[in-house]
Chains A and B, each alone.
Chain A
């Protein structure tokens, strides 16, 4: 109903007259309401109103028709046509007001319907015309499509033809080229043939000539002669000279003289030309400098360092060049300087001219200065706007990032778990490998530790033995009180260091021998070697110098190897005491290997810790 109302509302006021008409009609005969309704709903039936009317209600069936109408109307939601019965027995009275109301309502509804119908019809018409239009359009477009398709086909055809033509032309060109090649070959062959023939002919001709020559010249022709009244003197007044070797030489000389003169002349000319050109260059340079020097201030003020430096360079150059009288310099030395400086200046000049050009263009632009100002304001506004926008955008980005983070945390559960599983599997694999590796290492370490502890025990025994030996030896020495030098004691200390007995001995042991040993070796004292031999059972007993030296160097190497880490010995002792500190024990061979093993150690260490976690 609401829809209907909206559609018909607009038409309501305009149809007021009609309403009044209908209402007057209704006033005339209340029974016509129905017929009117029917009429309106079915226009073609309007002619048969009377027959219909007579068919529906007659004098006899008023009651029934009213009842029927009431029933009908109530079913359509109108109020009942009868008055509310006050008593059960009383017959229900026809309520005129209700009837009228109903009628009015029906009429209004009718109006609405009519309007709606009209609208629908116009709409229908409109749509129909639209449809027509669209169909026309469609037809037209179809036609166009057809046309363009046809055109395209035509063009394709033309393209094909052109391509064909092109191909043909290419072919023709190729043929022509071949033809040209052929003709050239023919020309060449003809030329060779011609040359050959010519040669042949010429030979014949020469033969004939020779023959003729013999015939003509050898006959001692009397006729070939010169009759002169008297011989005249030479133009230069000299007598003819005999041909001798001298004249030949003289001729040669003269020839070379002539050639030389010519070359000298040319050289002079070239020199002159060069000088002229140099002069011109120099002048140009000077002028350039003078022209550029006022400009020179500006760029410096503008801190335009590049041009400024160039100019100063140029000035220096110019000073140098003008100081030396440049014409006298040979080409190679001057040329480069001159050309370089000229080039530089030319560059400056060019840039300057360009600058000027720019200025000129700016001046040109100043014609639009007012607009320019306005535009600048606009520009500022624009920039402000843009800045604002940028801020907005930044905020947006921030919020988006936040949102994204939230999203990431939110959607973690299912997708990332999968991924994590993947990672975990991979990691597990790796860890397993590492674990096995580590186990192996651990086993190795254990083995080594055992061996080391054994070695330590052995060392301890040895030390004890040595200690005893030393004590006895010291005692002996003390007893002997001989004049032993300091060196000896040093050596003793060294050997004690070898045995690795005491911690406090070590630093001195491995610092001093390194300084002293070479010294002792350079001394080459037999004392030393003998002592070595005596004190070290393992050392070679031979007193060969080289051997001892190598031995010493070996020792020094081993010493240094042993003493790289003074704390090495400490763990060894500690390892015996506390087996819990296995890592520190294990680090000992590692440190011997180098820092890489050390690294690996820490690596494995961490892995072990990790491994413990799950």
Chain B
């Protein structure tokens, strides 16, 4: 495992291009595009103001930089550095901007969600979509980029419009039986749209592409409802995390629940491996750590190293007492992610913030629990294999795979706090994003993995 040097970064804006060749990052008003392998600067663009959002076009040819404060979007071309485009939303303001899947249209949402403006880079044409709903996740493109589903609100009722992306024609328009639609999400196969209600009511609605209601699911009433939703990559399962600290998995045949994953604070089942992060008190006890950061790269360490220990079975996890009188209480399943091969589901229950739960989707049971020393900030699956990267806002990055679990100290001067991370397309490298810096972590190829798994033997 190798780490790159540390680069500057602002607002956690760092993204790999969809083709994996480049890495775009922002420093204040500058956009830097680097080669993803060599980290050489390929291009450097200067925007008019602090960049608040960047996004690669699907063909990796353009990058849009949104400057919400100014209501501006600036688009840069990678092929033609001199090409530029600036979209000004004027007094209408700007709160969100994104590419259409074809990479030739930009969808800007004006302030107060008055409308969505669709700007074309090919023609002068501008389209407007009225009444977009201001919600968590009101805009969803299918994986193949053909269709856009948009949550709308008219006359106190929720609607969903499905547009054909090629010419922005309205294909379907239907109302959803929701109190307050909170989000929509296409299944990866683009045939089923999941829509869920706001947290006040537990309700999931499943619509076919042609607008038919396939099913409705409601687990309970009179309590805070859905907090997070995730489709499995095979479109076979829909995992719904809710405020009661459970994940309910619906199947794609009957759209009924097939299992319920609770997140108990104590784990009694001896079959479940609980990896507990522990501080490593006297340094350099080599045998216990599976992956050691290479000494060559490792600089002076500011925080003590840590390692994973396998906890003895009745494990009680640290729980957080949520403030009941505040809005958005820190309870319930706030993060869900299926592994790309569908075999695992990683979840985080917000009132047990230090733990990441990994569920075996094939056997529909808990597989592993990772308990960190501090609250889990983010986790993401390797796009190529069942490998989970976790960060907790400390100077370490944690990797889990079915074979084992490691904690890796990020080398660097000062305190490099990993707040977020994102995988490269190939799964070979991982961008670790801190408040002001970012670095890349290159993971070992085959031979490195071999030694790692060899070392894992003394873990288990």
Contacts and interface: CB of A to CB of B under 8 A. Distances in A.
B76 to A, nearest CB: 11
Interface stretch (B9-17, B27-35, B164-172, B332-340): B164-172
Interface stretch (A251-259, A294-302, A305-313): A251-259
Contacts of B124: 226, 231
Contacts of A229: 82-85
Contacts of A224: 88-92
A262 interface: yes
Contacts of B209: 255, 258-259
Interface stretch (A98-106, A113-121, A128-136, A240-248): A240-248
Given A226-B88, A235-B59, A255-B210, 12 more contacts: A184-B222, A187-B222, A206-B156, A217-B115, A221-B92, A226-B85, A231-B124, A233-B122, A235-B58, A240-B125, A248-B169, A251-B167
A228 B124 CA distance: 9
Contacts of A252: 171
A184 B87 CA distance: 52
A216 interface: yes
A258 B83 contact: no
Contacts of A248: 169
Contact of A221 (B83, B91, B103): B91
Interface of B: 58-59, 77, 82-92, 102-104, 110, 112, 114-115, 119-126, 146-147, 153, 155-156, 164, 167, 169, 171, 179-180, 189-191, 208-210, 222
10 contacts: A198-B180, A213-B114, A217-B114, A222-B90, A226-B88, A226-B119, A226-B124, A227-B84, A252-B171, A255-B171
Tell which of A223, A226, A241, A256 has the most Cβ of chain B within 10 Å: A226
Nearest to A252: B171
A203 interface: yes
Contacts of A198: 180
Given A231-B124, A233-B122, A234-B104, A221 B90 contact: yes
Interface string A419-441: 00000000000000000000000
Nearest to B57: A235
Given A224-B92, A254-B146, A259 B84 contact: no
Nearest to A233: B122
A481 interface: no
A411 interface: no
A503 interface: no
Contacts of B120: 240
A259 to B, nearest CB: 6
A228 B85 contact: yes
Contacts of B89: 223-224
Interface residues of A, number: 43
A497 to B, nearest CB: 89
A247 B164 CA distance: 10
Tell which of A206, A209, A243, A251 has the most Cβ of chain B within 10 Å: A251
A226 B92 CA distance: 14
A230 B122 contact: no
B258 to A, nearest CB: 16
B114 A212 contact: yes
Nearest to A261: B191
B121 A247 contact: no
A565 B89 CA distance: 123
A232 interface: yes
A232 B122 contact: yes
A387 B121 CA distance: 111
Contact of B167 (A233, A236, A241, A262): A241
A207 to B, nearest CB: 12
Given A226-B119, A240-B123, A216 B91 contact: yes
B114 A209 contact: yes
Nearest to A251: B164
Contact residues of B: prevailing secondary structure: loop
B106 to A, nearest CB: 9
A240 B191 contact: no
Nearest to A239: B122
A479 interface: no
Given A216-B91, A221-B90, A226-B87, A259 B169 contact: no
A505 to B, nearest CB: 92
A198 B164 CA distance: 33
A189 to B, nearest CB: 13
Given A187-B222, A209-B112, A240-B167, A230 B123 contact: no
Nearest to A228: B85
The 9 A-B residue pairs whose C-beta atoms are closest, nearest first, are: A223-B90, A224-B90, A262-B191, A221-B90, A228-B85, A227-B86, A226-B87, A251-B164, A199-B156
Contacts of B77: 232
Given A255-B171, A259-B208, A227 B115 contact: no
A195 interface: yes
A555 B104 CA distance: 113
Contacts of A187: 222
A595 interface: no
Contact of A212 (B90, B112, B164, B169): B112
Nearest to A241: B167
A197 to B, nearest CB: 12
Given A216-B92, A232-B122, A259 B171 contact: no
A324 interface: no
A579 to B, nearest CB: 99
A228 B418 CA distance: 38
Contacts of A247: 167, 169
Contacts of A255: 147, 171, 209-210
A235 B87 contact: no
A240 B123 CA distance: 8
Contact of B88 (A203, A223, A240, A258): A223
A304 interface: no
A206 B82 CA distance: 43
B225 to A, nearest CB: 13
A235 B169 CA distance: 19
A170 B85 CA distance: 75
Contacts of A256: 210
Given A212-B114, A240-B167, A251-B169, A231 B91 contact: no
A224 B71 CA distance: 10
Contacts of A216: 90-92, 110, 114
A187 B114 CA distance: 33
A240 B122 contact: yes
A182 to B, nearest CB: 14
Contacts of A235: 58-59, 102-104
B77 to A, nearest CB: 8
A373 interface: no
Contacts of A199: 156
Tell which of A199, A228, A231 has the most Cβ of chain B within 10 Å: A228
A256 B208 CA distance: 11
A230 B92 contact: no
Nearest to B62: A232
Tell which of A203, A224, A225, A233 has the most Cβ of chain B within 10 Å: A224
